[in-house]
Amino acid sequence: MPAPLLETKLHPPRHRSGALPRPRLAQRLDRGLGCRLTLVSAPAGFGKTTLLAERAAAWAAGGARVGWLSLDGQDDDPGVLWPYVVAALQAAAPGTGADARALLGSGAPTGAVLTSLLNDLHAVAGDVVLALDDVHHLRSREVHDGLGFLLEHLPANAHLVLAGRTDPALPLARLRARGDLVEVRAADLRFTPEEAATYLAGATGSALAPADAAALAARTEGWIAGLQLAALSLEGRDDVAGFVAGFAGDDRFVVDYLLEEVLQRQPPHVRGFLLCTSVLGRLTGPLCDAVTGGPGGAAVLEALDRQNLFVVALDDRRRWYRYHHLFADVLRARLLDERPGEVAALHGRASEWFEQHGDRPEAIAHAFAAGDVERAAHLVELALPALRRDRQEATMHRWLAALPDDVLRTRPVLSVGYASALMSLGDLAGVEERLRDAERWLVPATPGADRTTPPAGAVVADVQAFGALAAGIAVYRAALARARGDDADAEARARRALESGDPGAHLERGAAAGLLALARWSAGDLAAAHASWGEAVASLERAGHVADAFGGRIALADIRIAQGRLDDARRTYEEGLRLAADHGGPVLRGTADLHVGLADVLRERGDLAGAAHHLRTSEALGPGGALPQHPHRYRVALARLRVAEGDLDAAVALLEDAERVYDANFFPEPRPVAAERARVRIAQGRWAEALARAAERGVTADDEVVYLREYEHLVLARALVARGAAEGDGRVLASATRLLDRILAAAEDGGRGGSVIEALVVHALAASAAGDGPSALAHLARAVALAEPEGYVRVFADEGAALLGPLRALAPREPHARRLLAGLRAPHRAAGAGARSGQVLVEPLSARELDVLRLLASELDGPGIARELVVSLNTVRTHTRNVYAKLAVRNRREAVRRATELGLLGARVRARGGDGSGTLPS
């Protein structure tokens, strides 16, 4: 279950009756509803929260949907902040954020969560306002990046209001220039002399002499907290003029002076209550009783509220309060001055109360503040599973980094947790040391040994986690080895984790099996990789990690494609999509990637329309349904489709964009994006660029062929064949042939059927360029035979005219070769354009298009064909345009000639005389 949220953070402070109206500021804030962002930025004590709470109430009364969130230091973590933001908007506009909340639970990236949330906001009728108070607590770049994304993509009906002591790291200058920012700053918030006089009269119950009111306003410079403190100090004084005369100094002096005045005038029990409870960020009666050690906390809080003594109500039931931030700062300073020996005990009692009431983050914070690192370590260890589940790695790292090394070294579960946090944040430097600290506490792996009982000297709070320690260490060591590129070590450690782990530790087993699969995959052992991935998916499903298991199906299908098993890959993708459809909740992360994978399979099999449909579906799902690698995978798949459609320039542009958005992860990348781009350059006749790239990468024709560079070597072989053919250089063609022999042998040994077919096709091209027809035919015949069961089309069709001759020679004895000819489009010259060498558009003619083609070879005109087929003339025109496009021709005569060359006109042609040169109406 998700971590519980603190409801009081989702309600604005209660608006006080009798507060001074400030119409000039209200108008400015109201004007901000027409912009993306309103920023209220000023130092402490300027009334930011009071002003914003008053306007929030007014906006809500006027029909706007207002979400409120009071921030604190714990919110500077995406895993903590965004659940609160979603909850605030759900409270404002019920029905929004359900998918976003589910995505948070699945560990989806921030962009996916916010995209889902923004889509919901767009559908809300009327204005939606999200107000974030005390935004200065947010400092991390990741949080500011998320806020920037949210701000940049806000729909027109949504508005963001931020209040804090400092400006957030957002593009304020750009927003200001676009007129998308309304600002309220300290100069605006200061009371004018008239406002100060009115406020002081209301606060003291009597009108001050105009000179005294003006003097206080001038000496506080309109600073609201100073005036409030002055009003409290003036209560009951006879010598008002004398007090005002002695009032001087800067803000800090004013605070110290006036708080001293206020505190000294409180009864001893109230003064003691204020000092003791100043350690609390929020207050409620029972909590105050636990901290002070005495009863009556709720009554004291209500009395302070009635006296307007710097307490802020956090709910309408008057159960939770907080002190004014400035008041709390000075109270804590006074506590340290007067009772320094009590501070640790006060925090300790607060920690115990919060732990008993299920608020572990607050309990941990107070344990740290008390200096009780052992207690803090105990609580952090118990919190680790929830932190991992909720992807709160930043909070986990912050807490663990705050613990002394000598405490961490005696707590093996925390040491592994620290390694996990470091790895998740990309900081690999300290992982090894933390794993070694944990490893020395492992119980010897002897038969019957109790792994849940730690040895003497080890401190363990989570016994179950300690039992899984050996497997966890092995998994993280395997991941570390994988990150460093040492796949042999990664594989050995992943096997050790599987062998040493508890069979019931499904999560650890799933992670270990996945790492083992990655190592085997990188080595080119695809059968073993697929088996291990299957085990990983099953273990993750048993562990309840549905989203991770779902994403694993993409890897399973990718491996099947590399094996040349297109039909198995198709079934895997389709099974995943069925699971996604049956899920019933929000779109599962990875659904978009399944559509991309299926599109690529359909493209390879010649179904370009189906491929385009799935790519459009993938794009429509948005980031919420995608893995982090989706942006570049989508672009690569679309580029391949553009190649199939003959738009090579568009394909290159897409691949360049894919390189820009590339997101590396633990997965192997056997077909680098840059190599894909070089492949298209060869099709454009720019083989020299592909050769130059290979030289830069150190890829040569004499290399040992390994799986992760297999595709790069295939691209190099293509470039060498293109060069040899263009220059008539037999030595270059011979070099390509030797390289292809080695690629073919390695791919066959590794069971990589996709590479085998592609290598055979390039072999046929090399032999054809060398004038060795029999060898070209033999290689092509073998490629066609291997391709037919799986329906490969594009691996042949993308070669264009270069394969026409060999395929024609093969067609009489190979049915699949005849089908490939039907889909192969020769190079052609478009009207008014230069030759588009190597362009291919292959999409097989449909049954109805074949009927139209055969009638085009008769003497029938357009209306006659329509009558023959019992369709409208417009339908005939549509089919005719499709036939012309697929055959790369411009008129009827060329279509008949081209169809004859490809063997598409057979016994079903209804020849009725004439030369077939008639034209169809356009």
Judged against a pLDDT cut of 50, whether residue 497 lies above it is answered with yes
Tell me if 474 sits within 8 A of 493, measured CB to CB: yes
Six-digit token string for 447: 């038969």
Q: Where are the beta strands (DSSP E) in 153-277?
A: 158-164, 181-185
- Region 622-631: what's the mean pLDDT? 78
Question: Where do the H-state alpha helices sit in 662-793?
Answer: 673-683, 687-697, 710-727, 730-749, 753-769, 773-787
- Region 666-682: what's the mean pLDDT? 91
Q: Which residue has the higher pLDDT, 295 or 203?
A: 295
Judged against a pLDDT cut of 80, whether residue 680 lies above it is answered with yes
Looking up tokens 């088996």 gives 531
Judged against a pLDDT cut of 90, whether residue 557 lies above it is answered with yes
pLDDT at 913: 32
Break the chain into its structural domains and give their ranges.
7-189, 193-264, 668-823, 847-901
Pairwise CA distance, residues 261 & 281, whole Å: 24
- Region 294-318: what's the mean pLDDT? 81
- Region 552-579: what's the mean pLDDT? 93
Judged against a pLDDT cut of 80, whether residue 827 lies above it is answered with no
In tens, the pLDDT along 392-451 reads 888 999 999 999 999 999 999 999 999 988 887 778 888 989 999 998 888 665 545 556
Pairwise CA distance, residues 293 & 291, whole Å: 6
**3-class DSSP state of 13:** coil
pLDDT at 722: 93
Residue 45 pLDDT class (50, 70, 90 cuts): confident
pLDDT at 594: 94
What is 847-901's CATH topology? Arc Repressor Mutant, subunit A (1.10.10)
**3-class DSSP state of 671:** coil
Least confident of 38-47, 358-367, 438-447: 438-447
Q: Where are the beta strands (DSSP E) in 122-168?
A: 128-133, 158-164
Pairwise CA distance, residues 734 & 756, whole Å: 19
In tens, the pLDDT along 513-527 reads 988 998 889 889 999
In tens, the pLDDT along 1-40 reads 456 788 889 988 876 665 788 888 999 999 888 899 999 9
- Region 888-903: what's the mean pLDDT? 77
In tens, the pLDDT along 745-785 reads 999 999 999 999 999 999 999 999 999 999 999 999 999 99
In tens, the pLDDT along 528-549 reads 999 999 999 998 888 777 767 8
- Region 794-800: what's the mean pLDDT? 90
The domains spanning 668-823 and 847-901 adopt the same CATH topology: no
Can you say how many angstroms the Cα of residue 37 is from the centroid of all Cα atoms in its chain? Answer: 24
Pairwise CA distance, residues 772 & 165, whole Å: 79
pLDDT at 901: 65
Q: Which residues of 59-96 are buried (b: 16+ CB within 10 A; e: fewer)?
A: beeeebbbbbbbbbebbbbbbbbbbbbbbbbbbbbeeb
Tell me if 784 sits within 8 A of 814, measured CB to CB: yes
Can you say how many angstroms the Cα of residue 607 is from the centroid of all Cα atoms in its chain? Answer: 31
Pairwise CA distance, residues 853 & 429, whole Å: 67
Q: Which residue has the higher pLDDT, 168 or 919?
A: 168
Judged against a pLDDT cut of 90, whether residue 816 lies above it is answered with no
In tens, the pLDDT along 828-841 reads 332 222 223 333 33
Residue 158 pLDDT class (50, 70, 90 cuts): very high
Judged against a pLDDT cut of 80, whether residue 599 lies above it is answered with yes
Residue 826 pLDDT class (50, 70, 90 cuts): very low
Beta bridge mates, 185: 41
Tell me which residue of 77, 64, 207, 48 sits closest to 138, measured CA to CA: 77
Q: Which residue has the higher pLDDT, 860 or 890?
A: 860
Least confident of 73-82, 244-253, 388-397: 244-253
pLDDT at 584: 66
Least confident of 118-122, 245-249, 379-383, 853-857: 245-249
**What's the pTM?**
0.63
pLDDT at 643: 93
Least confident of 107-116, 155-164, 751-760, 833-842: 833-842
pLDDT at 840: 34
Q: Which residues contact 384 (CB under 8 A, 6 or more apart)?
A: 396, 413, 414, 417, 462, 465
Judged against a pLDDT cut of 80, whether residue 495 lies above it is answered with yes
Judged against a pLDDT cut of 50, whether residue 917 lies above it is answered with no
Judged against a pLDDT cut of 80, whether residue 69 lies above it is answered with yes
Six-digit token string for 173: 């200058």
Percent of the chain at pLDDT exceeding 90: 42
Tell me if 735 sits within 8 A of 743, measured CB to CB: no
Can you say how many angstroms the Cα of residue 740 is from the centroid of all Cα atoms in its chain? Answer: 40
What is 668-823's CATH topology? 1.25.40
In tens, the pLDDT along 249-288 reads 445 556 676 566 677 778 888 889 999 999 999 999 999 9
Pairwise CA distance, residues 329 & 294, whole Å: 23
> Which class is domain 7-189?
alpha beta
pLDDT at 530: 94
Crossing angle of helices 78-92 and 98-105, in 10° steps, is 160
pLDDT at 254: 63
How high is the mean pLDDT of the chain? 84
Question: Where do the H-state alpha helices sit in 501-565?
Answer: 506-523, 526-542, 546-562
Least confident of 239-248, 328-337, 763-772: 239-248
Judged against a pLDDT cut of 50, whether residue 911 lies above it is answered with no
What type of residue sits at position 896?
V
Cβ neighbour number for residue 835 with a 10 Å cutoff = 11
Cβ neighbour number for residue 622 with a 10 Å cutoff = 17
Q: Which residues contact 277 (CB under 8 A, 6 or more apart)?
A: 283, 288, 291, 292, 297, 323
Percent of the chain at pLDDT exceeding 70: 89
Q: Which residue has the higher pLDDT, 311 or 643?
A: 643
Judged against a pLDDT cut of 70, whether residue 248 lies above it is answered with no
